[in-house]
A = this chain, B = another copy of it.
Amino acid sequence: MSAAELEARLRAIGAERYHDRHPFHALLHGGRLDRGQVQAWALNRYEYQRCIPLKDAALLARIEDPQLRRVWRQRIVDHDGDGPDEGGIARWLRLTDALGLDRELVESGRALLPATRFAAQAYIRFVRERSLLEAIASSLTELFAPTIIGQRVAGMLANYDFVSKQALAYFDSRLHQAPQDANFALDYVLRHARTREQQDAVCAALRFKCDVLWSMLDALHFAYVEPRLPPPGAFLPQACSPESDA
């Protein structure tokens, strides 16, 4: 495959498998979830956010080239920030705060859906164990993030009176960080995936990562939307209003 053909194939994978196509997202952005369901989403998604710098540090630990490390370490800075209230993780906690979730409950992870934890750990393990090329390719879901973030911010602000612009500050930052990161990773992958085997591995890595994101929404949908069966020990929203059952 030429670089252009590989890029087209990667974009086709996103078009088919990125989690903006998951029904939970349509509910989330369309205002069809109640506050408890949005809480469950934010609480579980926090686990994914928490794991991102661990994933990027695992990747950093495998990069032999200082120049590539310099670029990649910025992702860790973006997520951890330069102080306790800065960076992507802190901004995500501002969202869970705004949704009325107890910060200790969120940070403890004890009310997580197990599937969330398994998916996030699988992502970290993938990045640790596969080739560097596959590890970098697994970040390419960010190519598709700007669209979903735009829809999410607009949809959530329009549809939920319990969500404010400040509470969604995380997404403002990601709107410019994600394309930078994604373009760098895409350029890296297109330059380094030269054999057909490497190109197939890169596509498989992107599919794997789509599976990670997708499986987290499956678990949320299963536990909190339909059939609404949260597993033992998982977060239980208080007072789900009945009109949210639509």
B57:A57 contact, CB within 8 angstroms: yes
- In the assembled complex, which residues on chain B have CB atoms less than 8 Å from the CB atom of A76? 60, 69, 73
User: Of residues 47 to 75 in A, which have CB atoms within 8 Å of B's CB atoms?
Assistant: 53-54, 57-58, 60-64, 66-67, 69-70, 73
Q: Is the beta-carbon distance between A54 and B64 smaller than 8 angstroms?
A: yes
19 contacts between A and B (CB under 8 A): A53-B66, A53-B69, A54-B62, A54-B64, A57-B57, A57-B60, A57-B61, A57-B62, A57-B63, A60-B76, A61-B61, A66-B80, A67-B84, A69-B76, A70-B81, A70-B82, A70-B83, A73-B77, A73-B80
Could you tell me which A residues sit within 8 Å of B by CB distance? Answer: 53-54, 57-58, 60-64, 66-67, 69-70, 73, 76-77, 80-84, 87, 89-90, 128
Which chain B residues lie closer than 8 Å to A81 at the CB level?
A: 66, 70
Could you tell me the distance in whole angstroms from the C-beta of A82 to the nearest C-beta in chain B? 7
> How near does chain B come to A11, taking the closest CB pair, in angstroms?
30
- Pairwise interchain contact A87-B60, C-beta atoms closer than 8 A: no
The residue that A89 contacts in the complex, of B58, B66, B128, with Cβ under 8 A, is B66
Name the 10 nearest CB pairs between A and B, nearest first. A57-B61, A58-B61, A57-B60, A66-B80, A61-B61, A69-B80, A70-B80, A57-B57, A54-B61, A66-B89
> Chain B residues near A63 (CB, 8 Å)?
57
> Chain B's nearest CB lies how many Å from the CB of A88?
10
C-alpha spacing A84/B58, complex, angstroms: 22
